[in-house]
Structures are given as structure tokens and as C-alpha cells.
Amino acid sequence: MSKLSEYSAKRRFEATPEPAPVLPDGGAGPLLFVVQQHSARQLHYDFRLECDGVLKSWAVPKGPSLDPGEKRLAVFVEDHPYDYASFEGVIPPGQYGAGEVIVWDCGVYSPDEGCTWFHDRAEAERRIRDGIAAGKLSIQLRGEKLKGSFALVRTKDAKSWLLIKHKDRFTTTNDVTAQNRSVLSGVAVADLKVVPAHRIPAARLVPAGEVAPMPTKLAPMLAEVGDTPFHHADWMWEPKLDGYRVLAFIDRHGVRLRSRRGLDLVGAFPTLVAELGQQAVDGMILDGELVAFDASGKPSFNALQNRVQLKTPRELAAADRSTPAVFFCFDLLYFAGIDLRDMPYRERRRYLVQCLLSSPLVQLVHAAQDGVALLAAALASGFEGVIGKRMDSRYQAGRRSPLWLKVKPMRSADFVIGGYTQGKGSRAPLGALLIGFWDKGELRYASHVGSGFDDRTLAHVRARLAPLQTPTCPFTDKPEVNVPVTWVKPELVAEVNFQQWTEGGSLRAPVFLRLRDDIDPKTVRRPAEPKLSSSSFPRLRGNDGQKAKTDSGILEVEEILVQLESKNALELAVGPHRIRLTHLDRVYWPADPALQQPAQTKRDLLRYLAQVSPLMLPHLADRPLTMIRMPDGIRGQRFFQKHWTQERPAFVETVTVFSGHKDEKHEYLLCNNLPTLMWLAQSGTLEFHVWHSRARLGPDAISKSTDYASSLEAMESSVLNYPDYVVFDIDPYIYSGKEAPGAEPELNVVAFEKGKEIAFRLRELLQDMSLESIVKTSGKTGLHVFVPIKRTIDFDAARHVSELVSRHLMHLHPKDITMEWSVPKRTGKIFMDHNMNARGKTLNVVYSPRGEPGAPVSMPLTWEELAGAHPLDFRVTNVIMQLTQAGDRWRDALKRKQDLARALAGRTA
């Protein structure tokens, strides 16, 4: 532990979120480097190299440079623990290094004098130790932002070093520090005051694990056919490239290029092979697509097929000039001794971005979460479509998996050619191809295809079929045709576009695209029907076979989601009811770069509310509703609306309530059904705030009166004057420093963490009183804690209970809690507002969106979940995904959510 004694002496780990000084067990695989941007007294960069279980560290005031003419000062500082490599967060005021920290870049590195040692950790560490002792290090970095060779050179001052970029193909005079976002979370350092920081284990930053020999043969993982692209936090999308699927094997013996059929393509692409040989690592397998471009710069499959036929050096050199072939990499399966196939795609993608040394002919495929937008861009660029990949998908070599989906404007599939018919006129030699697929060792006939040919392709296909002629029909069931047929051996594969399968089992509107020499005909099976990912339309299910909603309710929600895929205005059918929807593409929440979240529209709000309705509606039912409407989005005008005086649909229920303030009766809306929820969203309701009591009798209610409107006395005697719970409103008055004068505190990490601390202390106090409590985020900075009760005490009594408990907690922690009404006296403390326990007071209902940047949601949590939570963890874009996690964890979590829903809805304590 002596290596980390200086690190430990400077920090109080009960007060800072930085990792404790623990030395890891011996690692395997390449060494890690990390650069952290640190906004302390001055913004600077911490450059760290893994060696002997710790991070050797230098503070670089101006940050790294990719310009060899720039020599950047790097001050040698204390060793940091290995776990520090993934640290992102806020070091609190008063602690050493107070300020925000992000992982600005990370990746693998190796000493590089003479050669690299990514594959030999022991030798790499020995050379690093010797270099630090000698005051001169030469290293190759493979990160997202920093690539290539660098030098660290000690000056006459033992603590002062210089960080210098060596001249190579990665040099540039552009300021690399202008790329100011984290490579892990995507946030800028300034965002951390508000945006949650969630660490991943440092061991996951780079390829690591048991060292294993590099596989010599692999078959690529394949995608199933998808129906439409979508935007979902669990998926990433890549353009579907029109070329040859290729695996590139790179080691000390050279480069091997293997097609999907296992064909060796090295001889056809010598220039590409030479560039792949510059990856400077012993052991690397890349999965990607080999694409050729025509004279117009668009991908051309025909150009690629023609290139593969070339043999002589002169022909190949001419092809490099006229039809360059580029290897677009989209997966990394092995690197420097580490087999990555069992790691999730999200990790493999990060390792690929780090480890790939791009060049003109070796490129990284673009990836994005918004599949809809990417499809439009891909088609505009001349690509075929998009490929969707689940972020947690492992690499299933040689298998076609629903965890990968390919989406194209029209369906296409590969079929085996078993014969061709005689045509008429100029098409007499070849009228139509007879195509099929293999099924249990038999060739099944699928269809004939006669369109899609021109003179050149007709001649080419006929020439390829001529030597394959046979007198025997290769199909199990001989096709019925009325013209002469020539049968051929089933050795050629045709790619065919078609609309769909008919009920009779043939193709509707097939169109020939091309021959596929890269597909082994023996592997051709009937293509599966398009799959709509369950992540696109997730369902909420209960535990122990109990559904969270009825089958008809599931169908109703899914029908809404399908309708919402339509145009900008439509007549939405919700069961027998009709709701006119308009301006569906109006932006309600602008894009949020800090959260890497695209703009959210009215359509997105409706989708979210429909999907969450089984859990949200029980909290809304029978409770007078106050709406916060923002029909032009969160940057437009806001309406705080208690009463609805305009015309309303017949399915919207109401309750009339007597108001003691003006001796008047007012009509409140009740959101008791799904059509009402959809109608309110169409009306621009972004926030749903409800009373703490219900206009419904029940066995737990001491009052049996439903007279809410005749007089104040009647109202006070009615069931609406008896709440379902005692509320504790935890409201941090700890400022971020960015607020306007006199404004309320903005959401910030320090304030929310202090609020969580008080919430846990409140829970302990309530448990000492034998009271169980429930917690939810407000969606902003605060927390709401509820104690469910039987409806036997009125609001005055509930408020008195909340006040007594809050004052006792304040006396126990006077430095942290206040109940002062004066805002200046609240500053720096947690304000506990017992006056929220009043008839007519409202809080935003659970699962309600908030009209705040990022589209946060008020989320009910277990106390275990609260410990690591932040309000922006729960947003319109990801709550459904969090409620539908697969496996036992999903079922257990959903059961807890349902228990919370029942308690908060007043069913039982």
C-alpha cells in the first residue's frame, strides 16, 4: 500500500467519492492509459499510465496536443489507484482537488521503441519502469482522441516533464482539447454539476481478461430481418453497407482476409492488406464490410465483384485508382491476447473505437442510437439500409440472431438458383430464374423471378449458369411451369428483392438484384419474417403469471403505438373512443447534448404515457388533477390549470369540489382512463399533479361521505379530507452557482446527494417508530417520502404528524435541515415542508414527466435503488426500458414497482 500512501494522505474517503487506495489483483491483457479533465482551481488534464497495479500520473495544465511542435508541460504527481481510471464525478467543496472530473480519453498503450508490446504485459511494464527511471518514455496510445506515438521527457526539474507528439499519420495542428466531452458518459466537465455520473469498473475500460490464443477460423454473426428502425437506449444502429462481409485476421505472420464463405481475398486487395498490416499489434480480428465505390463515389457491389476477378499487378493497381475498396470495421473480436466475443457489443464497440488505427482504406463504421434518422441518412448516401444491434449482445459466431436486426426499405434475401425458364423475343435464352432454399437437406422451391435484368446482367447470369446445366430437377417438389425449363446444379446464389411471402408460400413481386459469390449456397435457408423488436414496443408484465394489465389493455397500448408511427396529425383510436391529435412532431423537450438525448416531441410524450399507463393510472385514479400545460414545449408559455372550463370529451370524468377560499364550487378533472391520459397529452399537459386524497370510498376510510360540493362543512366531512399518506417534502436549498438572482436552486449533484442523505436519516427515524416509508424523486432536485396510512386522520392531523417528525429530525441534524420560511435562512440546507400535507395541495404523480431539460420523470424507487440514483437517470426516453429489463432482475424490480404503486395509490400500507 506504500505506493498509494501519498494519495491516501491527501483525501478523506468518507467525504469524497474518489476510489479508496486498493491495489488490484494481477491483470492480463494490454495496459491502460487514461486522460481525465479536472475542473479544480484551474482546468487541467491528468495523464495516467497503468504500471505495476497503479496509475503513474502527470498533471498537464494545457492538455495533450497532436502537434509535434507543441511541448506540453506535464507535472509528475502521486500514483493513483487503478480504479481511479474510470472515476467521473464531483469532488465536494473543501476536499483536495474539489471540482468536477470526467474521463476525457482512455484506451490501451504500449512502449513503442522498436516495436509494440500490447501482447506482453510483463515486458511492457518493465520497459515503462526503465523509461520513467531514465526520464524518457516513448509510447503508442490507442484511444478515441489520442492515437499514435508520444514521448514523455523529464526536464532538469525532477517533477517537470514534457508531453510531446511524435510525427506520424495522426499528427495535426487542430486543437484536440476542443473535443471536450467524456468518452464514457458523453458529458462535458461543466455538465457534471447537474448530470449524474455513473462509473463503470476500471477493468472494463480496455480489453482485459484471460489470455487466449487467437482463433484461426471464425464465421461472422448474422442479423435477422427487422421491420422498422427505432430509437431506444438499448440499441445502436450502423449503416448497412453493400459489399462483402469480411473478417480480417492480423498477427505476426501477416494479414488474412476471409469472406463469409471462407474465401481468401488477400490476393485481390494487396493495398488494403498492406494498410491492415500497419495495425501494429500481434493478434487482432476485425469484423467489417469490404466496399468498393464507383466513379460517382457511391458503393457499388458490381464494382466489388469485378475487382475480385482481377489477378495481375497492373489490373490491381488500376483498380485501386478507379474503384478503391475500403474496409469498414464494425466489430473487434480479438485484441492482443484477449478474446472479446463474450463481451457485450457496447464494450466491443468502445474497444474498436480505441484500438483501430484508421487509415484511408481502413475506416470505422459510424454508429448512432436513432435508427430512424440513420436510415434516412444511409439511404441518401447510397447505402442499403441499417443494422440494429442490442448493446448487451454477445458475438454469436456463425449464428443469425434477433439481437441484430437488418432493416431495408424493401425486403431482400438470398436464394439458390435451381433452374431457369425459356423467355420470349430477346429474352428467349433466359426468361426467369427458378429459386429456392434449403430445408432439412432438401431444396424447396420459392418462386420464379424474371424482372430486374438488363442486357448485361442477362448475359452474365446465363454465362454463369451454362456450365451448371443438369438433366435432373434439384427441387424436392418440381415447380409447375408452362414453358421449357433448363435445370442447373444448385451452386449459385441470387439476391432478390420482394414485398412479402404469399399465403401459398411464394414471393410477391420478386426482383433480381445480383449474384452473390460471397454466399455459400449450402447455407441458404428460408428468410425469417421481419421482426419488430420487443424493445420498440415493450410490455409491462407482472410476477407469478399475473399480468400488469389485461390482454385487451396490452393490445390497446400496442395499437396506440402503431398509430403513433403515422403522420403529423391523426385521429387516434383508443378502444371505442377517438382523439384528434395534431402537431405530433412539435418539440416539447429540446435535444440535450449532456445526456446524449435527441429532441423529444409530442409524439414521444404520447408514446411514453401510453406505455407507462398501466403503472401511472392507478396513482391518478379518483384524485383531483392539476395540470401544468406547455403546448409549445418547455421553452414556451406554461399554464398552471386546476379547473377545466372548456368543452371536454365524454370519456373524461370530473369531480365538483367546494372551495373555502371563495365559497365557490369548482370542477376538477379526474384522469381515470387511458383515453383521458392521451387527450391531456394532446392538450399539452406535461406535468400531472394530484391531491393526496381520493374521491372514492373504501373499507380503510373513516368517512362514508361523498358530498364534496354542498358546503365547506360537507367537504371537511367527506372522504376527500382524509389523505392516503403523510408526506415529507425534502427540498434542497443548495445552489449550483448558475441560478439567476432570486431564483430557486437548480438541480445539482451536491444538492441531490445531500437530499438523499437526509432521506435515509428520515427513513431510519420512521423505522424506529415502526413506520414503513416509500420514496420517489420529484423529477427535479427534491425527494418525496410517503408514509401510507389508513384514511382515519384528516389533513390537519397528517400535517401535524409531518411537522413533529420533521422538527425532531431537524433537532438531530440542525446543520443540515431547516424549516424556516425565509429563503435566505434556508440557503445551504435541506428545507422540509410539512405544509404540503394540506387539502388541495398537490405533488407531481409518480411517472409524471417534468417540464425540465432532459425530460426527467418523477420516479418511485426502492430505498436500495435510491442509494445510487440521480433524477436524470429517469427520463421519458429510458423509463420504459428500465421497467422491462429481461430476466429475474426485471421481474423482481417490476414487482417492487407494483407494490409501490399499490401503496401510493392508497390500497394498502
Which of 133-137, 231-235, 675-679, 836-840 is least confident?
231-235
Give per-residue pLDDT as tens, 462-508.
999 999 999 999 999 899 888 999 999 999 999 998 877 876 788 87
**Helix residue spans in 466-534 (DSSP H):** none
Give per-residue pLDDT as tens, 507-522.
877 889 899 988 999 9
- The CA radius of gyration of the chain, in Å to the nearest whole number, is 33
Task: Please report which helix (H) or strand (E) contains residue 435, including its range.
Answer: strand 433-439
Rounded to whole angstroms, the Cα distance separating 116 from 113 reads 7
Residue 551: the pLDDT is 46
Percent of the chain at pLDDT above 90? 70
Its pTM stands at 0.76
Each residue of 38-73: b (16+ CB within 10 Å) or e? bbeeebbbbbbbbbebbbbbbbbeebbbbbbeeebe
Sign of CA dihedral 826, 829, 834, 840: positive
Is 871 or 332 the better-scoring residue by pLDDT? Answer: 332
Residue 888: the pLDDT is 37
Residue 556: the pLDDT is 81
Which of 296-300, 424-428, 657-661, 836-840 is least confident?
296-300
Q: What is the mean pLDDT of residues 237-251?
A: 94
Q: What is the mean pLDDT of residues 411-428?
A: 90
Domains of the chain, earliest start first: 2-204 (no CATH), 222-407 (3.30.470.30), 411-523 (2.40.50.140)
The 10 Å Cβ neighbour count of residue 200 is: 15
Q: What is the CB-side half-sphere exposure of residue 644 using CA atoms within 13 A?
A: 22
Confidence class for position 906, pLDDT limits 50, 70, 90: low
The 10 Å Cβ neighbour count of residue 768 is: 8
Q: Tell me the three state secondary structure of residue 909.
A: coil
Confidence class for position 308, pLDDT limits 50, 70, 90: confident
Q: Please answer whether residues 377 and 384 qualify as being in contact, where contact means their C-beta atoms are separated by less than 8 angstroms.
A: no
Q: What is the mean pLDDT of residues 894-908?
A: 50
Rounded to whole angstroms, the Cα distance separating 399 from 228 reads 22
Going from the C-alpha of 878 to that of each of 233, 557, 608, 808, the distances in angstroms are 6, 18, 9, 38
Residue 240 annotated to the active site: yes
Q: What is the mean pLDDT of residues 126-137?
A: 96
Q: Which of 56, 145, 165, 240 is catalytic?
A: 240
Rounded to whole angstroms, the Cα distance separating 376 from 136 reads 50
